[in-house]
Structure 1
């Protein structure tokens, strides 16, 4: 009670005005299977690339138990219900239902787990929003080459079709891949994330070439085989932060545009407009030639592939967190690198929610999607419950979102906070994004609401944002 009164005082003290939140604007929270489920080797689940990546490195912190949501999913639904969210975005662990990633062995316990979770959400009045791939590839598929192997597309097709068959009657919103930029850059370029390959000059582009065709396959399967029965929608989650030019020079303005194309356009252009962005095609081909390659390090799509990928979207799903300042930084010809291809450096701009509105406008103007949903947005902190900084952050971003909806007339239908609760942030438990605290030193993984959780619950109940 004391915490709630303190929170009410904070809201009243900081409130100068109030904005009404449209009833048709969805609010939700998000998680990912590897980050919350735990039970890494229980109930028939196969090993995924993050299990192997962190175990092989003997890392003390990993996703073996994390929030233990595999056993505590009912408590998680209760918290979601208390928050009054409209939707919950979660991901399915591919090796939990297909231990080696193939149809050779289907794990019924894994299928039942997600069935129960989905039914529990529906009974609680919460829309399930399902991500097929949030970074936990089965090890067997990775050992075959993962995103470097075109055969990945066929395996992903089998997996996606099985998931659609099992849950298609109950799920209306599907997301094929989460943050392909992060997948290819971190896992195949920089070697910082699973599977840990450092192929920054070429493998990073092969990864994108295969991934985009796999996304298209996942979309086309649903469109042709399941949409007539279930009338759901499918998209791909793209991540980008907003960038401001470091100066008013043409060089920095061009650098900002180039960075947006190399990070967002890399994925959005093939899906929404067709083919890679021209700036990527030209720059990578030019640098490849000067580096002595016989052809561009960026794979070339055939016209058939361009047509197959183009249009594979029912909405634009966007993850975004910050605003940066971009500066032109051209590099001499040395070893091939994605970063040298881009030719831009950037620095973080202190809290600037106005960049969120600018990004939404950029996405809407450049790609003309039918609608937009924010699938991740949140603030990283350390471990404390009095997270008024998170309240300030989310409030500013929602306010900017409302400007984009009401003043710019952009069709944004949802906003999703990352995350429902503190979880394993891909290498560490130090980064805390949750509206709800999780005690990772307690075997029960006790959940405790933060001030931001109570605040978020309040604005969803009242549909009023204090600004």
Structure 2
């Protein structure tokens, strides 16, 4: 580890004018921006006017460069117990179909590679109990395994099948073969480590993707690592150790 970080990254905040011009120059027909939601109620610190001005400027620059805007709304306001699973299921099928098309028609002479980038947190148990250790396993299955198992094994993790049951879509034999090995490389984004606690210790008040894993996630902090009861709020700390731990368990999913 060289201690570098992603604090600056693509720096769209300062370079959006340049980036938008590049989109037009390249003839791109799709782009995505995501802005933070304005609170429905009052904000103790007031509205961040610089943030509002930034998004107004981005939209103005997009329109100036002939972009056609549309709002991707209401996608998460219906049935959270089924829609995340449907979304990922079709995302995997679309990826696999595109990968097959590229391999069949272009890869032999372009010599390119097909990859897919996944995102996963790392999880540590809140206690040494078997329940919290299971919560870690479930959390990984419901985040990393959700994608990597179909890509390497042709189906979702057994844990997901058992806990989600018929709300989790099924692959046909042909689809399973299509998705399996539909990549030449896997990219992995890691951002943060969470404590996982068995949801059996809490009240499960709804049925959704977030509760199906029977695990509750609490942001990992140094203070929390000593006594997780004493820390209130979600204090974020990105830990590179979590990425190393995540990297070490990848063979468990791919073999």
Q: Which residue of 1 aligns with 2:173?
A: 303
1:315 to 181, 185, 207: 185
1:337 to 204, 208, 211: 208
2:194 to 324, 328, 331: 324
Is the Cα–Cα contact under 8 Å of residues 238 and 317 in structure 1 kept in the other structure? yes
The 5 Å alignment of 1:24-63 reads 31=10, 36=16, 37-38=19-20, 50=33, 60=52, 61-62=54-55
Q: Which residue of 2 aligns with 1:267?
A: 147
Bigger share in helix: 2
1:306-342 Cα deviation digits (max 9, x unpaired): 1110001111200001211111113767643112211
1:337-387 Cα deviation digits (max 9, x unpaired): 11221111122223532222111111134225xxxxxxxxxxxxxxxxxxx
Give the alignment's TM-score, normalised by structure 2: 0.68
- Unaligned 5+ segments in structure 2 are 3-7, 41-50, 222-236
Return the offset for 1:235. 1.1
- Unaligned 5+ segments in structure 1 are 1-18, 21-28, 69-94, 100-137, 143-186, 286-295, 369-467
**Structural RMSD (CA):** 4.0
Return the offset for 1:200. 1.1
The 5 Å alignment of 1:192-203 reads 195-203=75-83
Query: In 2, distance between residues paired with 1:41 and 1:63?
Result: 18
| Alpha carbons of structure 1 residues 50 and 354: separation in structure 2 relative to 1, 3 Å | closer
Bigger share in strand: 1
Return the offset for 1:256. 0.2
Query: In 2, distance between residues paired with 1:229 and 1:277?
Result: 36
2:254 to 352, 367, 378: 367
Query: In 1, distance between residues paired with 2:34 and 2:247?
Result: 35
Q: Which residue of 2 aligns with 1:348?
A: 219
Is the Cα–Cα contact under 8 Å of residues 48 and 139 in structure 1 kept in the other structure? no
Return the offset for 1:40. 11
Query: May I ask how many residue pairs the two structures share in their alignment?
Result: 213
Is the Cα–Cα contact under 8 Å of residues 145 and 253 in structure 2 kept in the other structure? no
Larger RCO (CA within 8 A; separation ≥ 6): 2
Is the Cα–Cα contact under 8 Å of residues 47 and 139 in structure 1 kept in the other structure? no
Give the alignment's TM-score, normalised by structure 1: 0.39
| Alpha carbons of structure 1 residues 31 and 301: separation in structure 2 relative to 1, 3 Å | farther
Is the Cα–Cα contact under 8 Å of residues 40 and 47 in structure 1 kept in the other structure? no
